[in-house]
Amino acid sequence: KRVILSGIQPTGVPHLGNYFGALSNWVKLQREASADDELLFTIVGWHALTLPQDPKVLATARTDMLAFLLAIGLSPQKSIIFHQDHNPCHTELAWILNCLTPFGKLKRMTTWKARLADSRNANDESEVDESLLNAGLFTYPILQAADILVYRATHVPVGDDQTQHLELSRDIAQIFNQTFKNRLFPLPQQLNTPTKRILSLKDPSSKMSKSAPDTQSRILLTDTPAQIRAKIRGAVTDSIQGITYDPVARPGTANLLAILAACTNEDVTAVAERYRDKRHGDLKAGVVDAVEGVVRGPREEFERIRKEEGYLALVATEGAEKARALAEVTMRDVRKLVGLA
């Protein structure tokens, strides 16, 4: 029996990186699941709080994210779709795991190191402005491990940027099992898509992200055909003649080929072969059409579902009930093992 779990932060409209790195795989796993597979997909509101959020904006983004998950094809009949913050078992387990996780392991997390770098004094690199760092940013990966372990998940479909967090989740599972001499937690395995990392359209040395200041660097699932065209046309490529798939020497071009291959479900080298003697303009035109073909359905479905407030509330309530019931089974064992039963 597989228990498949993944999560997404409600910090804005999902972009093509979220979609091709993770969300499209959630739908595929749901489609191909066997009757005893358990699938859980969670909107992680507590993780979003590690950065400052406008409460009104967050509340809307949180419900919108539920609408997006339904719009891309997740079904509450087949998967448990829920808000993390509706299940206090996550934070209860997170606290227990906090007390088992070595400080040094957290200090090595690249996400934490990036936050630390952001808060360094511009004039004196050795000085960190600690008022910019909250404790939640530091313990963030432990809450993520709790999200996974509280359902005893075996498989976690995520993008490339979550690899280190998944390794930590396995480490923490092992520490718990060893400390309390049991096998409660399976070691969760990461599931990637062929395009596990979509790059920024403006800076192909970094990933496509929700927080990059340049809005032209990402394509959102709500973008209109005109916006998609403008963003793809403005994507950074190179001045080499012809089209080849070379992620090292031609990252921008390779990224467009990867997006196109993800849209059409083809091998990226086959797509590159088709465009071999063509120009960047031809490739971009192909990408625009393919992306619009993928985004249109979810975009229209999102606009329809987001208005069905009663239905969304019902899905959230039912999802939370199922999630709590499953997590409670694990927590009964956890409490007993640690001596808090």
Residue 126 or residue 265: which is nearer to ligand TYM going by CB?
A: 265
Report, in Å, the least distance between residue 159 CB and ligand TYM: 2
By beta-carbon proximity to ligand TYM, the closer residue of 243 and 259 is 259
User: What is the C-alpha to C-alpha distance for residues 334 and 9, in angstroms, rounded to an integer?
Assistant: 26
Q: In angstroms, give the least distance from the CB of 124 to ligand TYM.
A: 31
Local structure of residue 128 (DSSP, 8 states)? B
Crossing angle of helices 55-71 and 280-305, in 10° steps, is 100
d(CA 218, CA 17): 8
Largest CA distance in the chain: 68
C-beta of 131 vs 211, nearer to ligand TYM: 211
Which residue, 22 or 316, is less far from ligand TYM as judged by CB?
A: 22
- Please report how close the Cβ of residue 135 comes to ligand TYM at its closest, in angstroms: 17
User: Minimal distance in Å, beta carbon 182 to ligand TYM?
Assistant: 22
220 SS3 class: strand
Distance CA 332, CA 203 (A): 48
Minimum distance from CB of 131 to ligand TYM (Å)?
A: 23
Which residues, including other chains, have CB under 8 Å from residue 141's CB and lie 6 or more apart? 106, 109, 111, 112, 164, 165, 168, 169
CA angle 85, 163, 109 (to 5 degrees): 80
Shortest approach of ligand TYM to residue 133 CB, angstroms? 17
Q: What is the DSSP letter of 199?
A: B
Residue whose CB is less far from ligand TYM, 158 or 272: 158
* H-assigned helices in 163-245: 163-179, 225-233
140 vs 275 by CB, closer to ligand TYM: 140
What whole-number distance in Å separates Cα of residue 197 and Cα of residue 199? 6
User: Minimum distance between the CB of residue 19 and ligand TYM, rounded to whole angstroms?
Assistant: 8
In the complex, the smallest distance separating the C-beta of residue 339 from ligand TYM, rounded to whole angstroms, is: 27
Tell me whether residue 133 or residue 285 sits nearer to ligand TYM (CB atom): 133
Which residue of the chain is nearest ligand TYM when measured via CB?
A: 21
Complex with ligand TYM: residue 8 or 220, whichever CB lies closer: 8
Instruction: Enumerate binding residues for ligand TYM (CB under 6 A).
Output: 5-9, 17-18, 21-22, 44, 47, 144, 147-148, 156, 158-162, 165, 196-198, 207-208
Q: What number of other Cβ atoms are within 10 A of residue 104's Cβ?
A: 7
How remote is the C-alpha of 256 from its chain's centroid?
Answer: 20
Q: Which amino acid is at 231?
A: K
The one-letter code for the residue type at 214 is D
80-83 β-sheet, strand order: 80-83, 38-43, 3-8, 155-157, 189-191
